[in-house]
Structure 1
Amino acid sequence: MRLLMISASAGHGHVVAANSLEAWARKLYPDAEIRNVDILDYTDVIYRKAYAASYLRLADSAPELWGYLYNTSDRKRAKKRQARIIRAYDHIEFRKFRAMLREYQPDHLICSHFLPAQVLRPYVDKDWYNFKLHLCITDFMAHSFWAQPNADSYFVASGEGEEELVSHGVDRKRVHIAGIPILGKFAQSYSREECAAKHGLDPSIPTVLAMSGGWGAAGMPTLVESIVQHSPVQVIAVCGRNERMQKRVAELPVPADSKVAALGYVNYVHELMALSDLCVTKAGGLTTSECLAMGLPMLIPNPIPGQEERNAEYLTECGAALIARSPGALRYKVGKFLGDDGLRRRMRQAARDVGRPRAGADIIRTVVEGK
């Protein structure tokens, strides 16, 4: 059996989802032949850079425009003439991708981005198109771009996502509510005390994991300053590869009864989640699914219009997240959360109820065994 995971590096989440699916597949079916590729690696460098950067640049520099384009395209599919132009261009641009499929001859294509299905749609009658194609949607809602008629099955994260696909013409029998695939380490239980000791942190005081500050480059330091006003509190600020921001956070004044840990890039975020009470994060499908799996409530600052805003709305409806649309609202809601034990318990339970820590395993089993 040959399995091919396909992502597109247009946003980090699609690649992480494909990596998660690959890890679950290797664990569940060790004898299977498995590949994991980025479809953009089979295009020329200009196309690859333009496609990969388009969302990130628009969402960062013109979020309202991105939201308008996202929502408008969800309601209006491309006209026939536009679709013909796109197909003609794809025929040339993705010839290396099609050649790889003919060489590898997979049994199943599992896609964490809609682009592979869109590219392959005109070739369903070709003799080399002898595989099953599965789409794994990486947000809690389903944009119309995912409604590709050549897909054999769709994996969504919510009942609302299922209804959206059906409204776009997808046969309900092909849709499975499975969740968003995340790595197996988020499906395990961890001791708060052991994780705190391992990383030099205090398990006895309320802890906020800050993954995103919102509102641009000054967001993280401003966020940390807001949180430590509610002392005693412990803040874990993950600054990624932004060394300047990490230095700024590390130099902030902190009350004597509180603590701030300014971290760079980490590969143990699951352990940080295990010792935290609240995660301040963007509303990407992968990170929020990891929080849900760990039973970790979220506070989402200023969600980007489009898929992240829709994710945030879904998570708040489920009771697992709060939204703050201004720095003042964020400061207030952090204080409200930290000061209300009942709210903390309810949101933690809501996160556990919605979380699907083994979504990747369920998706792979359904693909392979057809159940």
Structure 2
Amino acid sequence: MSKNILIISSDNTGHGHKSITESLCEKVDDHNVNIHVVDGFSLGGEVLLSVGKSYGPITRTAEGLWKLVWNLSSLKPAVVNQMIETVIKNNFLKLLEEFKPDIILSVHPNFNGSILNILEKQGIKIPFVTLIADLVSIYPLWADKRADYIISPTVEAKEKCIEYGVPSENIKVLGFPVRSRFYRKAANPKKTYTPNEGKPLKCLIMSGGEGVGNMKNIAENLLDHFDCNVKIVAGRNVKMKKKLENALGKYGQKVEVYGFTKDIQDLMFSSDIAFTRGSPNVMFEAFASNTPIIITGALPGQEEGNPGFAEKFNLGIICKSTQDIEPTIEELLANNAEKLNNIIESQQNFINEHAAEDIVQFLLNLDDPVYQTSVSLSYN
């Protein structure tokens, strides 16, 4: 008998929620499953959809405002839940009637408590599962203890959920799901890096789907001090792409600037080092592709703990100032690139290639109490 899984995601608040959803959808081909994905913001009509679309402009140009929004939402989660409940209720109930889901999975914090409110008030009994899309500094909105289960990517996020009052037994740590194309195939394994005079260092600079960060200064520091080639991904930030092309044109073919690309995995595979902000999705895609990362910043709020997480497990290093880029690279390449190669090895040992499949299997076995109590942790 087939199962219907309704996934509440988001198309406009960065690209992470969408990427996570795609990674799960890849794994249902071998199962008798129907998946319907909906942008939660679309359930609230144009008003709520415009709120979702404001994420990009705010995070690109007003990080202080984003921090204020994040902090206020964290202080009053019940108010946020009630507001969203009011605007999505009718469309959500209509969606339930049309799709008749057996399971609801939410991968966006803004729709956990609001949907649980609706289900509770309407007396509707459908298993509800939250999949946390952040690593360490999670919203209270992720941790609604009424959810049947919360799937956490890390032990750190699980511990935060417990602080918010979620019973430990209702939280399953199954890793962070990454789309399959980011994992290197046997024909393209990651090799240890060996410094070679005359062989330029291949650097990738990216900053998540919204293209935030001081990518120009990073590129200039690299190109002025090292024999390197630099590829930059400006994401959806069209203005930044144009500015970068104009400012870095003097370096000629040593620099390539890309907009939003669906082939980011190929850029990672061909790079020795990637510079990125602390976006959880971008970080884990780099880990999966076995590309050492240098983290140059993080959005206030949900990304603040991510750089420390990467350093804790030796998956990358932090570089807080562009002035520190030169000594940071020199440190990585010293002693025949010992530190860089240690990061490569740590990523190989850390990443769980089966996280997406583990999550799908967990959802499909929700009605099996024996499986739920015996499911093992895939992340340590």
- Shorter-chain TM band: 0.7 to 0.9
Mapping for residues 15-26 of structure 1, pairs under 5 Å: 15-25=18-28
CA–CA separation in structure 1 for the residues paired with 2:160 and 2:189: 42
CA–CA separation in structure 2 for the residues paired with 1:138 and 1:225: 33
SS at match of 1:336: helix
SS at match of 2:353: coil
Aligned-pair CA distance for 1:77: 4.3
Check the 8 A contact 2:9/2:38 in 1, yes or no. yes
Aligned equivalent of 1:359: 355
Q: 2:13 aligns with which of 6, 10, 20?
A: 10
SS at match of 2:251: coil
Aligned equivalent of 1:332: 327
TM, length-normalised to structure 1: 0.84
Q: Which 5+ residue runs of structure 2 have no aligned equivalent? A: 191-197, 372-380
Q: Does 2:283 match 1:288?
A: yes
Aligned-pair CA distance for 1:345: 0.9
Aligned equivalent of 2:267: 272
Aligned equivalent of 1:66: 66
Check the 8 A contact 2:43/2:91 in 1, yes or no. yes
CA–CA separation in structure 2 for the residues paired with 1:93 and 1:152: 21
Q: Does 2:248 match 1:253?
A: no
Identity %: 21
Calculate the aligned-residue CA RMSD, in Å. Answer: 2.9
CA–CA separation in structure 2 for the residues paired with 1:72 and 1:204: 50
CA–CA separation in structure 2 for the residues paired with 1:218 and 1:104: 41
Specify whether residues 103 and 150 from structure 1 end up closer, same or farther in structure 2 by C-alpha distance, changes over 3 A only. farther
SS at match of 1:118: helix
Q: How many residues matched?
A: 350
Specify whether residues 266 and 65 from structure 1 end up closer, same or farther in structure 2 by C-alpha distance, changes over 3 A only. closer
Check the 8 A contact 1:124/1:150 in 2, yes or no. no
CA distances 1:218-253 after superposition (whole Å, capped 9, x unpaired): 933322221123433222222335341453366132
Aligned-pair CA distance for 1:361: 1.2
SS at match of 1:208: strand
Specify whether residues 16 and 89 from structure 1 end up closer, same or farther in structure 2 by C-alpha distance, changes over 3 A only. closer
Aligned equivalent of 2:377: none
SS at match of 1:124: helix
Check the 8 A contact 2:332/2:340 in 1, yes or no. yes
Aligned-pair CA distance for 1:264: 3.4
CA–CA separation in structure 2 for the residues paired with 1:264 and 1:130: 44
Specify whether residues 111 and 217 from structure 1 end up closer, same or farther in structure 2 by C-alpha distance, changes over 3 A only. closer
Q: Report the AA paired with residue 172 of structure 1.
A: S
Out of 315-324 and 122-131, give the one that drifted further: 122-131
Q: Does 2:169 match 1:173?
A: yes
Specify whether residues 2 and 89 from structure 1 end up closer, same or farther in structure 2 by C-alpha distance, changes over 3 A only. closer
Q: Which 5+ residue runs of structure 1 have no aligned equivalent? A: 195-202
